[in-house]
Structure 1
Amino acid sequence: MLVLAFDTATAAITVALYEWTPGEGAVPRGVAEAVDGRRHTELLTPSIAQVMAEAGAAPDNLSAIAVGVGPGPYTGLRVGLVTARAMGEALSIPVHGACTLDIIAWATGRDEPFVVATDARRKEVFWARYDSARARATEPAVGPPSDVPEGLPVVGEGGALYPDVLGDSGHEPLLPAAGALAELTVARLAGLKVPALLPPEPLYLRRPDAKEPGPRKKVTPA
């Protein structure tokens, strides 16, 4: 099974190609990482081409696509999701989504409770509590850093941005890695008890900034 994984829900444009076999498990065949919150569109497609070339693989060799579904800012998030759905439809292969917070949590390998927090802008964070790297305890939420449960280690960029509220201990990894997404996807498909995969639809936790115009105001004749 050859799985192409990528996530654009944060400032990271992260792509990985992993191969899974019963004897070896998930093995990386190609990885591309970049951090640029304004160039998701320009960087994603070349990064996919890079990892495919690195592995000597063709699109027809792919068995599945895995994509991070957020939460994250709308513009970057939709780049990955639109690309994943288009590739899945063109190649007639399944597309699996994963919560971006779960991807960061998986990469920690932690066995004790902790929190993942990412940058939600507007002086807020996207966050969720985890019992371990394999088990999320709460639904993803968005709010000020003060909403995050106290007394737990906080990993992710959100923790690094607000150390006065969330503590100044190590927050690594700060951003999601596609390698962790590929591993999480393969583990779930193999039947292991890990966070559930999701449809490739955006996980939005805020209402859109744009609002429908209200009724026109009546003008009283002078």
Structure 2
Amino acid sequence: MTVLCVDTSAAVSVSLLSDDGTAIASRTLREQRRHAELLTPLIKEIFDESGLDSSSVTTVVAGTGPAPFTGLRVGLVTGRTFAFGVGTEPLGVCSLDALAAEAAQIHALKAGTKVLAVSDARRREVYYALYTVGELTAQGVPEVTVVEGPEVASAADLIETGLARGAVVVGEGAALYAEAFAGADVRSAPAVPSTTVLAQLALARRGAGVDQPTTPLYLRRPDAQVPGARKRALG
């Protein structure tokens, strides 16, 4: 029995894991467009690589963002549709959770350490969330508990809030706005959320009885808007 995880919050990413959280296959494309064209072929690739097929899937996990509307929607709809097809309820995990958990794993951060995960929100802004690192889960990844966020702000405004003080800062947002984060404890970490780590967190939380809805974290309105009604011209 296997776990399929998809995430389109910062890239097009898919992973296949065993039901104990062991990674089987994974693919990531750093693509901020064409999510709908790329995601399904990527899923097929990991099934071909593993020698498995969709009938083996008993758990589906999807990253819930935050991210822009169109790209994130593709991953969530695909995850929900796949879950429906195999007869299971999808599990949703905030994509920033994976950034924080993987950074805690890479840097062997102790329980209680604060981690600020920041990703690119475009428009000179970042998506962010502040976490506290917990103990290792049975899947081998540290649990992370959100303290504040997820939210969206400019890098300068985020620094002014003081959330970076005393926290390890990770994510693509810190690299993009290095000047704003110059005084923070910025650590190297993968730029995009790992679908393997997302799935491992989902399995650990399911085991703990945590509800994991696939509600998308858009945080702001989509760029495309329905035009308002035309104003009547008075003669």
Q: TM-score range by the shorter chain?
A: 0.7 to 0.9
Q: For residue 14 of structure 1, what is the aligned residue in structure 2? A: 13
- Work out which of the residue numbers 220, 230, 234 in structure 2 matches 1:206: 220
Count of matched residue positions in the alignment of Structure 1 and Structure 2: 213
Q: What are the within-5 Å matches in structure 2 for residues 1-222 of structure 1?
A: 1-10=1-10, 12-20=11-19, 25-109=20-104, 110-111=109-110, 112-132=113-133, 134-148=144-158, 149-151=163-165, 152-167=167-182, 169-191=186-208, 198-221=212-235
Give yes or no for contact 2:116–2:164 (8 Å, CA) kept in 1. no
- Pick which of 33-42 and 99-108 moved more: 33-42
Identity among equivalent positions (%) equals: 37
Q: Which string of whole-angstrom CA distances, capped at 9 and with x for unpartnered residues, describes residues 65-122 of structure 1? A: 0000110011211111111111111221121111011111121123311200011111
In the alignment, is the contact (CA less than 8 A) between 1:99 and 1:198 conserved in 2?
Answer: no
What one-letter code is carried by the residue in structure 2 that aligns with 1:173? P
- Say whether the 8 Å CA contact 1:69–1:200 is kept in structure 2: yes
Q: Is the 8 A contact 1:71 1:99 kept in 2?
A: yes
In the alignment, the residues of structure 2 paired with residue 54 and residue 107 of structure 1 have an alpha-carbon distance, to the nearest angstrom, of: 24
Code of the aligned partner of 1:198: Q
Residues 135-178 of structure 1: per-residue CA shift (max 9 Å, x gap): 21112010111232232332111111001011374341211011
After superposition, the CA RMSD in angstroms is 1.9
* Amino acid paired to 1:199: P
Q: Which runs of 5+ in 2 are unaligned?
A: 134-142
Letter in 2 for 1:121: R
Counterpart residue type for residue 219 of structure 2? L
- Paired with 2:233 and 2:206, the residues of 1 have a C-alpha distance of 62
Shift of 1:212: 4.8
Whether the 8 Å CA contact 2:99–2:192 is kept in 1: the answer is yes
Using the size of structure 1 for normalisation, the TM-score is: 0.88
Q: Give 1:208 deviation, angstroms.
A: 3.0
**What is the letter of the counterpart of residue 17 of structure 1?**
L
The TM-score normalised by the length of structure 2 is 0.83
